[in-house]
Amino acid sequence: MTSILQAFSCADDYDPNSLPVDRARELILGLLSPVTGHERVFVRQALDRVLSDDVISPIDVPAHDNSAMDGWAVRFGDLATNAETRLKNIGTAFAGRAFEGKVGAGEAVRIMTGGVLPQGVDCVVIQEVTQVEGDAVIIPPGQRQGQNLRRAGEDLQAGRPAIPAGRKLRPAEIGIVASLGIGEVSVRRRVRVAIFSTGDELCSIGMPLAEGAVYDSNRYTLWGMLTRLGCEVIDMGVVRDDPAALEAAFREAAACSDAIITSGGVSVGEADFIKQLMAQLGEVAFWKIAMKPGRPMAFGRIQPDGADRPGAWLFGLPGNPVAVMVAFYQFVQPAILKLAGIEPVKPVPGFPARCVEPMKKGRGRTEFQRGILFQENGEWCVRPTGAQGSGVLRSMADADCFIVLEHERDKVAAGDTVMVQLMNGLV
Q: Which stretch binds Mg ion (CB under 5 A): 21-29, 259-267, 365-373, 393-401?
A: 259-267
216 contact choice in ligand AMP, Mg ion, none (CB below 5 to 8 Å, kind-dependent): ligand AMP
Closest residue to ligand AMP, based on beta-carbon distance: 319
Which among 283, 236, 294 has a CA at the least distance from the CA of 261?
236
- Smallest gap from Cβ 204 to Mg ion, in A, equals 15
Q: Does residue 320 interact with ligand AMP by CB under 6 A?
A: yes
Q: Does residue 322 interact with ligand AMP by CB under 6 A?
A: no
What is the Cα–Cα distance from 87 to 106, expressed in whole angstroms?
5
Q: Does residue 334 interact with Mg ion by CB under 5 A?
A: no
Q: Is the previous residue joined to 62 through a cis bond, with omega within 30 degrees of 0?
A: yes
The footprint of Mg ion on residues 290-329 (CB under 5 A) is 319
330 contact choice in Mg ion, ligand AMP, none (CB below 5 to 8 Å, kind-dependent): none
- Reading phi first (left if > 0) and then psi (alpha if -120 to 50, else beta), residue 107 is in beta
**Among residues 116 and 325, whose Cβ is nearest to ligand AMP?**
325
- Smallest gap from Cβ 278 to ligand AMP, in A, equals 14
The footprint of ligand AMP on residues 198-227 (CB under 6 A) is 199, 201-202, 214, 216-218
Q: Which of 267, 329, 372, 380 binds ligand AMP (CB under 6 A)?
A: 267
Count of other CB atoms within 10 angstroms of residue 29: 15
- Smallest gap from Cβ 331 to ligand AMP, in A, equals 16
Count of other CB atoms within 10 angstroms of residue 106: 14
Which among 264, 236, 257 has a CA at the least distance from the CA of 248?
236
List contacts with Mg ion (CB under 5 A). Answer: 199, 264-265, 319
List contacts with ligand AMP (CB under 6 A). Answer: 197, 199, 201-202, 214, 216-218, 263-265, 267, 270, 318-321
